[in-house]
């Protein structure tokens, strides 16, 4: 089942990724960032409706010299920020957020065209030989695309980690666009997400499928997720 989903993902199709009923109990609409386009961003905006983010590996975090938002805020010189910072989500995880960026060849950064440009260039960043220099030369912050860096998937099994694992199982660079699927005032239900996937002929992937495949493939932990 996951094999066909990986083939679809490699071909540039969306997938619906559900984490677990024991965690957020949410589904994200995901796409490899190398296939970013204005139309794809519009689909994420209209059909998913959540925050459109770039998920990548902790290895890229080290290569760029960046850090998690929580760490940066804890080290802030602004007392109010230090008092406000949260290191744990309501469901018990450490957040995966880092900085927000725009590519330098965008205008406002928020349009479908602009975000498509930023995501496309971030996909290239994931394979860059000098990621730190490429980041500095081609992007600026603050921007409109949040960077999410996967933590150890053995400890955090969120959409960031699952999306990065999906890209690695598909033998693609760790560069995935993810966006929460929303319903009426809350997250789209498991049944609603599955219905959307079936209606649009998209793979519906549960986190446990990826985790099981990781064990079989012996991927995870030491490879940046």
Catalytic residue among 180, 196, 206, 213: 180
Catalytic residue among 91, 130, 198, 200: 91
- Indicate if 179 belongs to the active site: no
Catalytic residue among 113, 144, 152, 223: 144
- Eight-state DSSP code of residue 35: G
Taking the C-alpha atoms of residue 97 and residue 222, their distance in angstroms, rounded to an integer, is 20
Catalytic residue among 18, 26, 32, 53: 53
- Indicate if 22 belongs to the active site: no
Taking the C-alpha atoms of residue 26 and residue 34, their distance in angstroms, rounded to an integer, is 24
Contacts of range 102-108, beta carbons closer than 8 Å, 24 or more positions apart? 102/139, 102/140, 102/141, 102/143, 102/144, 102/145, 103/138, 103/139, 104/138, 104/139, 104/140, 108/144
Q: Which residues pair with 146 in a beta bridge?
A: 100
- Indicate if 144 belongs to the active site: yes
Catalytic residue among 102, 114, 159, 179: 102
- Indicate if 196 belongs to the active site: no
- Indicate if 102 belongs to the active site: yes
Residues contacting 190, CB < 8 A, separation 6+? 18, 21, 25, 27
Residue 189: CB atoms within 10 A of its CB come to 14
- Indicate if 137 belongs to the active site: no
- Confirm if 161 and 28 have CB atoms less than 8 A apart: no
Report, as residue numbers or ranges, the catalytic residues. 28, 53, 91, 102, 144, 180
């Amino acid at each position: 089942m996951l094999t066909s989903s990986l083939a679809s993902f490699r071909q540039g199709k969306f997938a619906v990724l559900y984490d677990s009923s024991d965690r957020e109990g949410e589904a994200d609409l995901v796409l490899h960032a190398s296939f970013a386009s204005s139309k794809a961003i519009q689909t994420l905006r209209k059909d998913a409706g959540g925050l459109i983010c770039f998920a990548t590996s902790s290895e890229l975090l080290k290569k760029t010299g960046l850090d998690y938002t929580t760490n940066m805020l804890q080290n802030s010189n602004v007392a109010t920020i230090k008092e406000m910072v949260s290191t744990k989500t309501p469901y018990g995880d450490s957040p995966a957020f880092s900085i927000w960026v725009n590519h330098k060849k965008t205008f406002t950064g928020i349009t479908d065209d602009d975000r498509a440009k930023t995501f496309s260039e971030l996909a290239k960043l994931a394979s860059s030989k000098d990621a730190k220099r490429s980041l500095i030369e081609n992007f600026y912050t603050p921007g409109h695309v949040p960077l999410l860096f996967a933590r150890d998937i053995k400890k955090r099994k969120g959409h960031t980690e699952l999306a990065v694992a999906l890209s690695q199982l598909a033998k693609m660079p760790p560069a995935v666009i993810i966006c929460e699927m929303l319903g009426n005032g809350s997250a789209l239900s498991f049944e609603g997400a599955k219905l959307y996937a079936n209606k649009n002929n998209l793979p519906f992937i549960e986190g446990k499928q990826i985790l099981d495949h990781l064990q079989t493939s012996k991927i995870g932990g030491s490879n940046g997720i």
